Amino acid sequence: ALDPKSTQAPIDLANLYQLQNHLPESQQVLQDAVNNNPDGIPLYIAWASIYNSQGNKDEAKALLQKLQNQLPNSSEAAVAIGDFYVSLNQADEALNEYRRALSNSPKDIEIKKRILDLYLLTNQTQPAAALDQDLMKQAPKDVLARIGHARLLMAQGNVTQAIDQLQEIVADAVDSPQAHYFLAMAYQQNGSLERAASELQIALKDSTELPMLPM
């Protein structure tokens, strides 16, 4: 009531209503919030998530289309929609949104890293290699970009090279759970199971901060 343009407050209220199983009230809060703030990207995503949790996939898709129409040139909106599809394991839809985002912001490293991650998750090594080459030129010191490069080496069967790369990354970014995780995967692929277990334990040391990672 004090800040009709707020995004987090109506999302929190909608989540509370959802926990109480008051779904109509939850949706109404977000509908009112979108009406008050039609450019509030998180509002659409939260509303689509509620629809999806109820099995109303068509309504969720229509809402995301409404966001696309509202902000057709927004990389932020496209990335948010892509992230939503990633959470549903819908890689093709996510890739389409990330590519749309990249067309609006062609130099955005974060978008490129998202696309590379999906290429690797879906075993698309050829486009991954092209994007990896671009990232290594643009951001050679970026930790996640370097991890992506090592993952590509693994996908190409160059496990020893991947291990060398990941060992360097772990030395440079000792607190990166992703670096330890993928080093564990590389060790496992190489048959070094004790080393793999050790690196995995380090990666899982603070599981609350570890993102969902592929096996």
Phi and psi, residue 144, nearest 5°: -70, -35
Phi, psi of 38, deg, nearest 5: -65, -10
**Rounded CA separation 191/181 (Å):** 15
H-only helix segments in 37-176? 41-53, 57-70, 75-87, 91-104, 109-121, 125-138, 143-155, 159-172
Q: Please tell me which residue, 207 or 157, carries the higher pLDDT value.
A: 157
Q: Is the pTM of this model over 0.85?
A: yes
Instruction: Indicate whether 10 pLDDT > 60.
Output: yes
Side chain identity at 86, as an amino acid letter?
V
Task: Kindly report which listed range (116-120, 132-136, 171-175) carries the lowest average pLDDT score.
Answer: 171-175
193-211, pLDDT tens digit by residue?
999 999 999 998 855 555 4
pLDDT-derived band at 1, boundaries 50, 70, 90: confident
Dihedrals phi, psi of 4, to nearest 5 degrees: -60, -20
- Measured over the CA atoms of residue 17, residue 51, residue 77 and residue 214, the dihedral's sign is positive
89 by Cβ neighbours in 10 Å (0-12 / 13-18 / 19+) ranks as exposed
pLDDT at 182 over 70: yes
41-84 pLDDT per residue, tens: 999 999 999 999 889 999 999 999 999 999 999 999 999 999 99
User: Which of the four pLDDT bands, split at 50, 70 and 90, describes residue 5?
Assistant: confident
| Euclidean distance between CA atoms 41 and 77, whole angstroms | 6
Three state DSSP letters for 191-215: CCHHHHHHHHHHHCCCHHHCCCCCC
Q: What residues contact residue 131 under an 8 Å CB cut-off, 6+ apart?
A: 112, 115, 116, 119
- Nearest C-alpha neighbor of 128 from the set 107, 154, 163, 108: 154
Query: Which pLDDT does position 215 carry in this prediction?
Result: 40
- pLDDT tens for 75-132 read 999 999 999 999 999 999 999 999 999 999 999 999 999 999 999 999 999 999 999 9
Measured between its terminal Cα atoms, the distance across the chain in Å is: 45
**Long-range Cβ pairs for the range 163-172 (8 Å, 24+):** 163/187, 163/190, 169/143, 170/199, 172/143
Q: Is the pLDDT reported for residue 186 higher than 80?
A: yes
